[in-house]
């Protein structure tokens, strides 16, 4: 497609803008989209649920089943958050408080502590409605607020929610409420992991179907109009305040369902189950997948939760990290095709040279032992600098060297993004990649529990700067 052929309109002129949809239809992404448009909704829903449905048939470890249940609950949370954030464009930072509320309400209707035992067919809808009502109430003072004020009110609300949970006597403080009754459907308790998994899957299918229909409805269209331009929507006689409250309530209700499923799965609820860490994790899921897209949000939640699980174990974490580095590299320097290979080769050679020099000059720089036990760590040992005693047994840096290394690495990454010249950028990538490996092996890998959240934070910032629409979302431009 040449830009100066006579029949092609010049980029930016009205004809070019008018034919944008036509041009998009011709690209691969456009064709996939078109197929998506034409497929009946029921088929799409089946296609989305199928991988989840066959998952239990493929695995036979209770650990993986547990991860599967957690993932489905996270998917529900991400879908709920997507209503406010993706469809309406309201930054709701109190969202996970509603999940916590759902979990505690389940404890209030089905535990020994409360002395009640409701059937799940009654408890879950009741909890969902109660939490939606709570979302409505929190929305009331917030509905007049534009994005940023809303964010702070809801964030503060989350903080208050945690304060109340930890300090109030009726929630039993940090000890939480344990010995919850299992989910019971028509008197039959569901206790096996497989059973719980399918219950969560059923909830997922129902929620996705509900959200799909909602998005296609008059309300869904009004929400999107509101997101694009609140003032214009109001002029079109849309009840802006009521729409915002509805979005809050619907999102909160879905979070309530997630919480009400989470509580009996864990068998207990604690204040720390739904805190800011979970909030930001769920945000990362929505943003990675693409805010506004049901498929995107689902995929984002699965990818993030699976990665977080993998990062628990140093051996899996290493594989994941190096795979992620290679993928990022390919995304950064796609063309020409041999460029990623050259950079990769250059990094390996660079590392070998640095390692050799360090070994000759100061052997203590390579005297450490790798954290993991996998085969990759043997390779790492002869390539990455592993200074002796850079971290303590707990994984904390022993002195200024480790900390400066970390800060220097971040500065190097940020500095690299400032280089405009293409060649220097690629050249600079080599030492930065090597530095990334050094920081990873020495500082992040010894503390996987913290490292995973560092990576989530970096992912959020990096995504917003490079691809704010996420994997499946559509790029939006704010009209000023």
Partner 1 sequence: MDWDKLVQLLVNGVTLGSVYALVALGFSMVYGILKLLNLAHGDVLMVGAFIGWGVLGWLGGAQDPSVAVWILIVLMVLAAMAGCGVLGVAIERFAYRPLRRAPRIAPLISALGVSFFIQNSMLLLFGADFRSYDSFDLVDVEVGIEFGPLRVWVVRLVVIGAALAMMIALWLLVTRTKLGKAMRATAIDREAAAMMGIDVDKVIVKTFFIGSALAGAAGVLVGLVFGQINHFMGFGYGLKGFTAAVVGGIGSIPGAMFGGLFIGLAEALSVGYIEDLTRGRLGSAFSDLVVFLILVLFMLLRPQGIFGKPEVKKV
Residues that bind partner 1 (CB under 8 A): 85, 89, 91, 93, 141-142, 144-145, 147-149, 151-153, 155-157, 159-160, 163-164, 166-167, 231, 276, 280, 283-284, 287, 394, 396-397, 402-403, 406, 410, 414, 417, 443-444, 447, 450-451, 453-454, 456-461, 464-465, 468, 476-478, 480
Q: How far is the CB of 450 from partner 1 (least distance, A)?
A: 5
Q: How far is the CB of 141 from partner 1 (least distance, A)?
A: 5
155: left (phi over 0), alpha (psi -120 to 50) or beta: alpha
Q: Which is nearer to partner 1, 155 or 257 (CB)?
A: 155
Q: Which is nearer to partner 1, 150 or 203 (CB)?
A: 150
Percentages helix, strand, coil for the chain, rounded to the nearest 5?
70, 5, 25
Q: What are phi and psi of 184, to 5 degrees?
A: -130, 125
Q: Is 190 helix (H, G, I), strand (E, B) or coil?
A: strand
Angle in degrees, CA 75, 224, 52, rounded to 5? 20
Q: How far is the CB of 45 from partner 1 (least distance, A)?
A: 28
Q: How many CB atoms lie within 10 A of CB 454?
A: 13
The maximal CA–CA distance of the chain, rounded, in angstroms, is 79
Q: Which is nearer to partner 1, 268 or 463 (CB)?
A: 463
Q: Of all helices (H) and strands (E), which one includes residue 438?
A: helix 422-439
Contacts 24+ apart (CB under 8 A), 450-453: 451/311, 451/317, 452/307, 452/308, 452/311, 452/312, 453/277, 453/280
Q: How far is the CB of 336 from partner 1 (least distance, A)?
A: 26
The whole-angstrom separation of Cα 129 and Cα 135 is 10
Q: How many CB atoms lie within 10 A of CB 407?
A: 10
Q: Which is nearer to partner 1, 350 or 406 (CB)?
A: 406
Q: Which is nearer to partner 1, 14 or 394 (CB)?
A: 394
Q: How far is the CB of 68 from partner 1 (least distance, A)?
A: 26
Q: How far is the CB of 428 from partner 1 (least distance, A)?
A: 16
Alpha-helical segments (H) within 83-192: 95-109, 120-142, 147-167
Q: Which is nearer to partner 1, 9 or 457 (CB)?
A: 457
- Nearest to 105, CA basis, from 93, 114, 94, 92: 114
Q: Which is nearer to partner 1, 267 or 457 (CB)?
A: 457
Q: How many CB atoms lie within 10 A of CB 376?
A: 15
- Centroid of chain to Cα 387: 34
State the burial class of residue 217 (Cβ atoms within 10 Å of its Cβ: 0-12, 13-18, 19+).
exposed
Q: How far is the CB of 145 from partner 1 (least distance, A)?
A: 6
The whole-angstrom separation of Cα 25 and Cα 33 is 8
Q: How far is the CB of 166 from partner 1 (least distance, A)?
A: 7
Q: Positive or negative CA dihedral for 355, 353, 435, 444?
A: negative
Q: Which is nearer to partner 1, 201 or 284 (CB)?
A: 284
Q: Which is nearer to partner 1, 61 or 237 (CB)?
A: 237
Q: How far is the CB of 36 from partner 1 (least distance, A)?
A: 23
110-111 and 116-117 strand pairing: antiparallel
Q: How far is the CB of 245 from partner 1 (least distance, A)?
A: 15
The whole-angstrom separation of Cα 366 and Cα 215 is 57
Q: Which is nearer to partner 1, 49 or 459 (CB)?
A: 459
């Amino acid at each position: 497609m040449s830009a100066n052929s006579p029949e092609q309109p010049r980029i930016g002129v009205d004809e070019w803008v008018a034919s944008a949809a036509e041009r998009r239809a011709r690209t691969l992404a456009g064709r996939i989209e078109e197929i998506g448009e034409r497929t009946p909704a029921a088929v799409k829903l089946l296609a989305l649920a199928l991988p989840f449905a066959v998952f239990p048939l493929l695995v036979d470890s209770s650990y993986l089943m547990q991860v599967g249940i957690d993932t489905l609950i996270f998917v529900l949370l991400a879908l709920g958050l997507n209503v406010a954030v993706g469809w309406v464009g309201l930054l709701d930072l109190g969202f996970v408080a509603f999940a916590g509320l759902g979990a505690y309400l389940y404890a209030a209707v089905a535990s020994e502590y409360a002395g009640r035992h409701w059937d799940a067919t009654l408890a879950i809808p009741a909890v969902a409605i109660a939490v939606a009502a709570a979302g409505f109430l929190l929305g009331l003072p917030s509905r007049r607020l534009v994005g940023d004020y809303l964010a702070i009110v809801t964030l503060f609300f989350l903080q208050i929610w945690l304060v109340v949970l930890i300090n109030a006597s009726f929630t039993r403080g940090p000890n939480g409420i344990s010995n919850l009754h299992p989910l019971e459907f028509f008197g039959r308790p569901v206790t096996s992991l497989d059973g719980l998994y399918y219950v969560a899957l059923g909830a997922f299918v129902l929620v996705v179907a509900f959200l799909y229909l909602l998005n296609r409805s008059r309300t869904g269209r009004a929400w999107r109009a509101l997101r694009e331009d609140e003032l214009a929507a109001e002029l079109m006689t849309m009840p802006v305040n009521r729409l915002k409250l509805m979005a809050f309530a619907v999102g909160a209700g879905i979070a309530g369902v997630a919480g009400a499923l989470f509580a009996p799965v864990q068998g207990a609820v604690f204040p720390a189950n739904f805190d800011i860490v979970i909030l930001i994790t769920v945000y990362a899921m929505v943003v990675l997948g693409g805010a506004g897209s049901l498929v995107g949000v689902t995929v984002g939640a699965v990818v993030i939760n699976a990665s977080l699980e993998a990062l628990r174990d140093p051996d899996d974490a290493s594989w994941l990290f190096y795979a992620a580095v290679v993928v990022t590299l390919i995304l950064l320097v796609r063309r020409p095709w041999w460029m990623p290979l050259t950079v990769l080769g250059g990094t390996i050679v660079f590392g070998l040279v640095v390692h050799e020099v360090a070994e000759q000059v100061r052997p203590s720089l390579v005297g450490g032992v790798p954290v993991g036990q996998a085969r990759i760590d043997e390779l790492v040992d002869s390539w990455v600098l592993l200074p002796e005693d850079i971290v303590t047994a707990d994984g904390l840096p022993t002195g200024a060297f480790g900390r400066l290394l970390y800060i220097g690495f971040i500065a190097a990454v940020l500095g690299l993004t400032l280089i405009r010249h293409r060649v220097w950028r690629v050249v600079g990538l080599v030492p930065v990649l090597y530095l990334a490996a050094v920081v990873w092996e020495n500082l992040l890998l010894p503390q996987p529990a913290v490292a995973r959240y560092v990576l989530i934070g970096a992912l959020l910032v990096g995504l917003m700067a490079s691809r704010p629409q996420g994997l499946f979302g559509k790029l939006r431009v704010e009209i000023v």
